[in-house]
Structure 1
Amino acid sequence: MVLSNMSHVLSSISNEEVSPVTLNDHWSRLARLILLASMSAVGSVGNVFMMSAVMIEDYLRKRGNTFLVNVGLADLLVTGLVIPASAIVILAGLKDNLAVCKFQWFIAAWCFLVTVLSLTAIAWENYFRLCYSIDVYHKLTKRKITFLLLSIWTTCGCISGMQFYAELSFDYCTRNDLGLIPYQATVCAIFVFFPLSVTLFCYIRTGYQVRKFKSRPNHKAPITFSWDCALAQTNMYSFVTFLLFWVPFGVILAIDNVNKVSGKVFYNLAWLAISKSCINSILYGMLNRHFRGAYVNLFQYCCCKTTVSFSRRQRPEGLRPSGDVRVHIIPGYNMYCSPQRANESGGRSKRFTERCSSARANGREVYEL
C-alpha cells in the first residue's frame, strides 16, 4: 500500500512540465548539472566571503552586522544543501525523488523565514545606528543579539518542520490543494507580511531622518557616518532584490490555491526565488567598498597565496601615512632612522649610516622603529 502511494506521488510529480528537483527535462543532463554546480559553487564561495568579510574588515566588525552574517548563513545552507541535492539526483540518473524534494523544500522554507526576520533586524539596527545616539545603540548587547538569533532559527525551524510533519500547509512537491488554511494564513501574516512591512517602514524612516540631518546648515558629517549610510543603502538594495526574487513566486503560490497554474511557471519561479541566495554576496561586493576590499584581500589570500595583512587600525582615509612603516623588534634595531637622524649622528657610527642608506633603498623613505 505504501509503495503504491509512493509510486502515485512520484508519477504525479513526473507529469509536471518542470521537475521540482531536476528542472526542465528538455534540457540535457550535462547542461542542468553544469548550471546547478555553477550556482552552488559561486553562491557558496560568495556567501563564505560575505561572512568572512565581517570578521576581517575593521569597519564591518560591529555587533549589529551579525545579522548580515545570519543572512549569509541562511543563503549558504541553500547553496550548500538545496542546490547540490538536485545535482546529486541528476548524477544518479533519477528523474525525481520525493524525499529529496521534501528535504529541499524544508530547508528552503526554513532559510526563507530566517532571511525575512534577519532583514527586519538589519533594517531596525540601521535605523537605531543612524538616527539615535550611541548610548541607545549600545543597548544592543552581545547577549541580546545571541538570544535573538537563536530564537529566529529555532522558531523558523519549528514552523517549517510542522508543515511537513502534520501536513498543515501547502505541499510544494506534490502540489496537493489544501486551500488557504488558518495555519498557512497565520504564518504568512505574522512571519512574512508583518516583518516585511516593518523593514520597509524602517528604511523609509531612516532615509527621511538622514536627509533631514544632512540638510542642516554648516553640517559636516564624520566619515564613519557616511560609511554607515552607504552600508544602510546597500542593505536596502539587498532587501529590494529579495523582494524581486521572492514576490513573483509568492503571488503564484497564492493564485495556485485558487486556480491551478502550470507546473512550468510554478517551478521556474520557485527556482528563480532560490537563486537569490547565489547573488546576494555579489551584490554587497558591487555596491559596498568595504565588502569589496575584503573580498579582494580574501581572494588574494586564498587563491593567489600572497601575504595579505588584514588591517586592524581604524583611520580615515586622509590620515593614513604616505610612506611605509616597518617595525623591528630586534634590540639592536630599536632606533629611528631618517636623513636628519643620520646627519645628527655625524661620525659616531659608520654602521648607523649604512643602516640609514639601506632603509632608503628602492627610492622610498622607510623608517625603522
Structure 2
Amino acid sequence: MLLVTTRILWKPNMGHDRNSFRMNTTVIYNGATSMDNIIGFEFERYSKAMNINMNSDNDLDVSPVTLSSAWSRVARLLLLASLAVGGSVGNVFMISAVVVEDQLNKRGNAFLVNVALADLLVTGLVIPVSVIVILAGYAESLGACRFEWTLEALCFLVTVLTLATIAAENYARLCLPAERYASLTAGRVTTIIIVVWLIAVTVVALQSSLDIGPDFCRRRLSGIAMEQAVGASILVGLPALTTIFLYVKLVIRVRRVTRGSYKPPAVFSWDYELTKTNMCSCVMFVVFWLPFGLAVCVNSFVPVSTRVLYNLAWFALSKSCFNNLLYCVADRHFRSAYVKLFHYCCCKTTVSFSRRPRGGEGRNSSDVRLRVHIIHSYASPSSCRPTVARPNGRDVYEL
C-alpha cells in the first residue's frame, strides 16, 4: 500500500511581486523516501502487468511494411523490387520445371508446386505491396500491413503443412511397395492440397477475427496467448516432428538397402536425390524462420527490441525468394529444366520439339530439348506452320 503525506507551506516572498510557495513532500513506501524510485518501480510493475514492450525511440523507424527509414528510399526500393522480381521469376520457373521435365512430371511433385505457389504469393503480392507504398511515398498503412502479415501467415502455414506432406510422399515413394504408393492417385493429391489450404485459411481467419496475441501492425507486441500456443503446437510443432521422423527413417532404410555392392536403378537414384533436396529445403525453412519464432517466444517473457523483431520478420520473409534457387543448385533435373526455360524465354525464337517414340522403345533421359506441352498443335504434322527440314530428321516449327 502506498502512503503519501503532503505538507504545503505558504510564505510570502518579499523579493518578488507575487507570492511563491514551498511544498514539502514526505513519501513513505516500505521505508523508502525517494519519489523517483517509487515512480520508476510502479511504472515497471505496470508495464509488466500490461505486457508492454518498452522500446527506445530509435525502434520506431523500423516499419513492418517499408523496412527501416534509416535507409534511403532508393535503397529500400531497389532491394524489395529485386526480391520481388527475382523471387517471382524463380518460383514460376520452379512450377514450370515440374511440367516440362519428364523426370519431375510425377503426381507426388504437385506438393513441390504447392510450396512454390505459396512462395509466389509472397514474392508476387506481399513484397510488391511494400514496393507500391514506397513508390507512392505514403506512410505506414494499417490496411497494407494487415494484408501483408495475413497473407504471410497463410503462406507460412501452407508451407509447414506441405513440407510434412512432401516428407510422407517421399517416404512412400522410396520405402513402400509400388502397389501401396499407387494408391496416392492424382485425385487424392488434389484433395490433400485443397485440405491444406482450407486449414490454413481457417486458422488465419480465426486469428484475425479473435485478435489475440501479438499485433505487429499496431506494435502491440504482447505475449503469446494460450490459444496461439496450442494452435502452434498442433499446426507447426507436430508437422515439424513428423517431417524429421519420416526423413530420418527414410535415410536409415535407404542406406540399409543400398549397402554393399547393390546398385539401385537410375530412377531410384534420381528420386533419392530429389528427396535430399527436399531435406535441404526443410533445413533452409528452419534457418530463415526459427530466429523470428524464437524472438517472438522470448518476447513473451523478456521484452525484445522492435527493431530486432521486424528485421527478423523480413529475413524470414526473404526465404520465399531463395527456395527455388536451392532446387536449381541441388537437383540435376530442376537445373536442366531451368536451363531449358531460360534458353526458351531469353535466347531462342524457335523451339525444337521432340516426339516420344512409339511402341516399347525407351526415351533417352539425357535429351535436353524442350518440349512445350501446351502447344500441341505446333507438333502436329498437319499444322499450317512452315517447317524447316533438319538433317537428323527432326522438324523445327516457328512460333
Q: TM-score, structure 1 length as denominator?
A: 0.81
Relative to structure 1, is the Cα distance of residues 86 and 274 closer, same or farther in structure 2, using a 3 angstrom cutoff? same
Deviation at residue 168 of structure 1 after TM alignment: 2.5
- Whole-angstrom distance in 2 between the partners of 1:13 and 1:71: 38
Indicate whether 1:234 and 2:277 are aligned: yes
The separation in 1 between residues aligned to 2:74 and 2:271, in whole angstroms, is 45
Q: Residue 344 of structure 1 aligns with which residue? A: none
2:343 to 282, 286, 300: 300
Within 2, Cα distance between the matches of 1:16 and 1:203? 43
Pick from 74, 86, 103 the counterpart of residue 59 of structure 1.
103
Partner of 1:99: 143
Give the conservation status (yes or no) of the 8 Å contact 1:53–1:295: yes
Q: Which amino acid aligns with 1:174?
A: R
Q: Does 1:42 align with 2:86?
A: yes
Which residue pairs with 2:323 in the alignment?
280
1:145 correspondence with 2:226: no
Once residues 353 and 223 of structure 2 are traced to their aligned partners in structure 1, the CA distance between those partners, rounded to angstroms, is 54
Partner of 1:221: helix, strand, or coil? coil
Q: CA RMSD in A?
A: 2.5
Q: State the alpha-carbon separation in 2 of the partners of residues 367 and 309 from structure 1.
A: 12
| Distance in 2 (alpha carbons) for counterparts of 1:25 and 1:136 | 56
From the superposition, tell whether residues 41 and 211 of structure 1 become closer, same or farther in structure 2 (CA, over 3 Å).
Answer: same
What secondary structure, in the 3-state scheme, does the structure 1 residue paired with 2:216 have? Answer: coil
Residues 255, 261 of structure 1: 8 Å contact kept: yes
User: Is 2:179 aligned against 1:135?
Assistant: yes
The CA distance in 2 between the partners of 1:310 and 1:253, in whole Å, is: 53
1:163-220 C-alpha deviation (Å, 9 max, x unpaired): 12220232121232443322101111010011011111111111111100101x4422
Structure 1: tracts of 5 or more residues without a match: 1-11, 321-326, 331-357
Rounded Cα–Cα distance in structure 2 between residues aligned with 1:203 and 1:174: 40
CA distance in 2, matches of 1:105, 1:303: 35
**Identity rate, percent:** 49
Shift of the 279–246 alpha-carbon distance from structure 1 to 2, 3 Å rule, reads same
CA drift at 1:126: 0.5
> 1:108 aligned to 2:152?
yes
Q: Which amino acid aligns with 1:65?
A: N
Q: Which range is displaced more, 55-64 or 12-21?
A: 12-21
- State the match for 2:307 in structure 1: 264
Q: Return the structure number with greater strand share.
A: 2
1:119 corresponds to 2:158: no
Which residue identity does 1:246 align to in structure 2? W
- Kindly tell me: are residues 123 and 312 of structure 1, through their superposed partners in 2, closer, same or farther at Cα, counting changes over 3 Å? farther
- Does structure 2 retain, via aligned residues, the 8 Å contact 1:58–1:312? no
Structure-2 residue corresponding to 1:247:
290
CA contact (8 A) 2:126 2:151 kept: yes
Secondary structure of the corresponding residue to residue 220 of structure 1:
coil
Which has the bigger relative contact order, CA under 8 A and spacing at least 6?
A: 1
Question: Larger radius of gyration, structure 1 or 2?
Answer: 2
The Cα of 1:143 is off from its aligned counterpart by: 1.5
Question: What corresponds to 1:214 in structure 2?
Answer: 258
Distance 1:53 1:194 in 2: 31
- 1:3 equivalent in structure 2: none
